[in-house]
Amino acid sequence: MKNNIEKSIDKTLQLLKKKKVKDGDVIITGSNVLSLKSENKELSEFAKSKTHALGVRVIKDNKVGISFTEDLSDWAIETTIDNAINNSKFSKTNEYVRIESQEEIHLDETTQSEDVDTEHLIEKTFYLEEEVKRRDERAKTPPYNGVQESESHFYLANTHGARCSYKAKNYGCYTSALLNEGDKNSMHFNKRLSKNFNQLDFDELITEVVDTSKNLLTANQIKSGEYLVKFSPDLLSSFFSAFSSLISGKAVMDNVSPWRDKLNEQVMDQRLTMIDSPEYKEALTKYPFDMEGHRRTDISLVEDGILKTFLHNSETSNKLKMKNNNCAFRGPKSPLGVSNSNIIISASSTDNIDNLDYVEILTAQGLHSGINRTSGEISLGVSGRIIKNGEIVGYFKDSTFSGNFFKMLREVHSISDKKEASTDKSFFTPEIIFNELTFAGAI
Amino acid sequence: MLDKNIAKEVIDYGLLKGADFVDLFVDQQQFETISVKSSEVENISNGINFGIGIRLIYGTNVLYGYTNSKDKKDLIDVISSLTANKEQKKFESLNDFSFTEHTNRHLVHHGLKNNISLDEKLPFLFSLDREARSLSEKVTQLTAGISQRSQDIEIFNSEGLHTTDTRNYIRLSASVIAEDGNIREEDYFAPGAMMGFEYVNSFDPKNVAEKMVKTALTKLKAIPCPAGKMPVIIDNGFGGVIFHEACGHLLETTSVAKKASVFHDKMGEKIASSVVNAVDDGTLDNYWGSINIDDEGMPTKKTQLIKDGILTSFMVDKLGSMKTGFERTGSARRENYRYAPTSRMRNTYIEAGKDKLEDMIASIDKGIYCKKMGGGSVSPGTGEFNFVARESYLIEDGKIKDCVKGASLIGTGPDTLTKISMVGDNLDFSAGVCGSISGGVNTTVGQPAIKVDEILVGGGK
């Protein structure tokens, strides 16, 4: 028995055929989300939603047209196809992009997640808030505090016979500790995500946000100067996301990737290897197929510090005369691009960092603005802790850090054998200590 | 868009399930995006979003759900799932809705409902591309786009309100990259308005290209910015983003009501230097952040936030009013039906003062002049902010010197407000999209040039 989304896929393919579209595809995304937030022991949000979006892409006379709708009625689907065909008439001639997959790929991960009673989710939402306030009397009502259950569905099909689907269900919890003492304020926020609600460690999350906020409350600015630096895995992951054009075949094609001329050259420390791993076992999200309907596999992007390839789709690979490594990405509402899946960094040799003096940056402000994606310059407001001989000797805040990301990657000081993962479990790396970077704070 | 009888039955069902207040937000948005890159059409896309948000208020607690469907059964199902553990109660059925028509103060000629052909839109972008590339061989890339959105909303609530509005938005965006050897720099221009395509035609492509290319070429020669505490002049227009992020959000009842704002108990008190007057105004004709009515159906208004340094008003939505006792200010906003409304900014700015920019520069021995600000972020609880300057210069001995790169401004909003010593007479505005708990909404930021006596500057030197 087909569900409504599968029926809409069939309807779209029938209409594409009726309108004599030889090369066309359809993407439908759907999500069911329950979001709970609490404030002063009461639910400040109980939001439940079920939504979907359908996107059509056609290639006519070597020209691509796209259009989308959130209305899955027959009329809306037909109008969307007509709009896509009309849009293609104004598009540039593009002899590189292809719709040709005939693969059938399906992965349903919702079966790995147990159902959780809504009352239990509500209890846990209150627990987060109350426990943060109980742990420290200076804590105000957490500005951000909640629990979320979300199920997402991706479907892709094309006129050549490809049929792909991916379903996943995740749970998340997040909270923040806003502490106030006299005229001093501090806040720390974090979250946890898991396929299984029972694996969310609420107490560990609460301990982290309260303790960090407590330490930052009395922290001062760091003494201006240069320090060895370690970034939290979330922050390092954010840097790689912000500089995604480094490994994007589309950015190379558009002449905007800073690494566009660096193929087979050293771009990272020679001990480091970076892999794009769509079905990495420890990752939260899997990427069994790309958005052109091809199966994704592991890709060695950087080997021993040498740039080996970029992420490609049919268009970038054909235009740049490189192998398509099936990293096409697009949503129902967006044009074709490329995207990484899970990023895994590993090291060929490691160092003992126990005796090092360095600064560990825990949070940064201004990530979307303090980064120059073209030049690699980074300048951010940061807070964190100072490590000496492996021991935390102090915390700092209201300080700035600046450096160049491209240079940082090439000039690594030390790599530990300890592995770390980002909170969303999409980025895995050994602990990396980067060479001296500039901090401004107290004189 | 939604049958009135269905709206009534759905609201009645919410009241039956014990809600004190129910409202429906019917939202249909039409989009069109066109873009040019590498002197070719990069993307043409269009589509329709549709959904209905249902809000049930119990005391001051909110239950919120939404669906893409306008069928009665689906709408009732949303309420059923939201109120699964609620008892039914006796309620007074809504008699009928009273339709309220609002004056449309934003005249639009070529919105998406009266759209003109792509043949008439694309030439502007190609012209921009040609002009930019002709100005310097160091220009290696230009991307430009036009995004238009038409939003039809219809609001019903259990107090009998029924009202509608149509909002037409347009935004031009362009960025240029210049290269010199291994150095790459960029500049961008992204104005927006509550208008149709006639807004884009008000710009001269040559003029836009010249400004962007000049800035990108200047930045190629920039030296590292010195770091440390120093006086800073933040010029007009997008400079207002700092007030928006580091102070404006703290004046929304969304954070005031939960006492997460440092200003929550400061009404009537001096929170800024006496030269600071700040406003949030939803009524400015055709401005990007303007509205006719807010997303709870209340006519919008002009709200004086700070007068002579004294806090005079917060931005207040229905729930914020219920929690704090302050009167609503027509500030309830949301990105779309997926979000419950909360108090949000509209066109927020520091009002013009009397100082001249040249006098402000001349008053500084050593500092930074931030001609154009970039984006930034702020910690909502503490007001700690970090903003990058997109184009900035050293000031030495009262004169503007070298262009510097990597300058970022770090501080806290409340502290910075008290350190503003001069306010210029050159008020200007700039469009942006503000992200917060009710999604991304169009907001205008604005200010004249201001002098902050001391602020921490992050740089590369």
Give the mean model confidence (pLDDT) for residues B201-218. Answer: 96
- End residue of a domain, out of A188, A215, A242: A215
Residue B362's pLDDT is 97
Query: Which residue in chain B has the smallest CA separation from A180?
Result: B382
CA A294 – CA A257 distance, rounded (Å): 25
Q: What percent of chain B has pLDDT over 70?
A: 99
Residue A443's pLDDT is 54
Neighboring chain B residues of A138 at a CB cutoff of 8 Å: none
Q: Which of A71, A83, A369 sits opposite B374 (nearest CB)?
A: A369
Give residue-wise pLDDT tens across range B263-299.
999 999 999 999 999 999 999 999 999 999 999 999 9
Together in a domain, A103 and A203: yes
Write the secondary structure of chain B as one string of H (helix), E (strand) and C (coil): CCCHHHHHHHHHHHHHCCCCEEEEEEEEEEEEEEEEECCEEEEEEEEEEEEEEEEEEECCEEEEEEECCCCHHHHHHHHHHHCCCCCCCCCCCCCCCEEECCCCCCCCCCCHHHCCCHHHHHHHHHHHHHHHHHHCCCEEEEEEEEEEEEEEEEEEECCCEEEEEEEEEEEEEEEEEEEECCEEEEEEECCEECCCHHHHHHCCHHHHHHHHHHHHHHHHCCEECCCEEEEEEECCHHHHHHHHHHCHHHHEHHHHCCCCCCCCCCCCCECCCCCCCEEEECCCCCECCCCCECCCCCECCEEEEEECCEECCCECCHHHHHHHCCCCCCCEECCCCCCCCEECCCEEEECCCCECHHHHHHCCCEEEEEEEEEEEEECCCCCEEEEEEEEEEEEECCEEEEEEECCEEEEEHHHHHHCEEEEECCCEEEEEEEEECCEEEEEEEEECCEEEEEEEEECCC
Together in a domain, B143 and B256: no
Give residue-wise pLDDT tens across range B3-39.
999 999 999 999 999 999 999 999 999 999 999 998 9
| CB atoms B382 and A366 under 8 Å | no
Together in a domain, A94 and A130: yes
Residue A368's pLDDT is 67
Degrees to nearest 5, angle at CA B143 with B141 and B146: 165
Q: Which of B122, B228, B386 sits opposite A370 (nearest CB)?
A: B386
Residue type, A184: K
CA A96 – CA A263 distance, rounded (Å): 21
Together in a domain, B140 and B250: no
Residue B437's pLDDT is 87
- End residue of a domain, out of B218, B240, B260: B218
Give residue-wise pLDDT tens across range B106-158.
999 999 988 888 989 999 999 999 999 999 999 999 999 999 999 999 999 99
Do residues A254 and B37 make contact, with C-beta atoms less than 8 angstroms apart? yes
DSSP, collapsed to helix, strand or coil, labels residue A186 as strand
CB atoms within 10 A of CB A88: 22
Together in a domain, A166 and A240: no
List all residues of chain B from 263 to 292 with a beta carbon under 8 Å from chain A: none
Do residues B187 and B219 make contact, with C-beta atoms less than 8 angstroms apart? yes
| CB atoms A42 and B60 under 8 Å | yes
Number of domains observed in the structure of chain A? 2
Together in a domain, A12 and A129: yes
Closest of B97, B165, B105 to residue B333, by C-alpha: B165
Together in a domain, B147 and B232: no
Host domain of residue A400: 219-443
Together in a domain, B240 and B181: no
Together in a domain, A235 and A296: yes
CATH of the domain at A34: 3.30.2290.10
Res B368 pLDDT > 70? yes
Residue A128's pLDDT is 95
Together in a domain, B332 and B418: yes
CA B195 – CA B197 distance, rounded (Å): 7
DSSP letter (8 states) at residue B363? T
Q: Which of B37, B44, B48 sits opposite A70 (nearest CB)?
A: B48
Host domain of residue B118: 112-151+166-218
Q: Is residue B12 part of a domain?
A: no
- End residue of a domain, out of A191, A215, A239: A215
Together in a domain, A201 and A263: no
Closest of B417, B420, B53, B70 to residue B232, by C-alpha: B420
Q: Is residue B79 part of a domain?
A: no
Res B380 pLDDT > 80? no
Together in a domain, B316 and B374: yes
Provide the phi-psi class of B246: left if phi over 0, else alpha when psi is between -120 and 50, else beta: alpha
List all residues of chain B from 52 to 91 with a beta carbon under 8 Å from chain A: 59-68, 78, 81-82, 84-85
Closest of B213, B241, B192 to residue B372, by C-alpha: B241
Number of domains observed in the structure of chain B? 2
CA B405 – CA B400 distance, rounded (Å): 15
Q: Is residue B17 part of a domain?
A: no
Together in a domain, A210 and A342: no
User: What's the half-sphere exposure (Cβ side, CA atoms, 13 Å) at B37?
Assistant: 15
Would you call B186 an interface residue with chain A, using a CB distance cutoff of 8 Å?
yes
Split at pLDDT 50, 70, 90, the class of B361 is: very high
Average pLDDT, consecutive stretches of 10 residues, N- to C-terminus, chain A (443 residues): 88 96 96 88 81 94 94 91 93 93 96 85 94 93 91 96 96 94 89 94 96 94 92 95 96 91 97 98 96 98 98 97 97 94 96 93 79 83 92 90 92 95 96 89 64
Residue type, A116: V
List all residues of chain A from 218 to 237 with a beta carbon under 8 Å from chain B: 221, 224
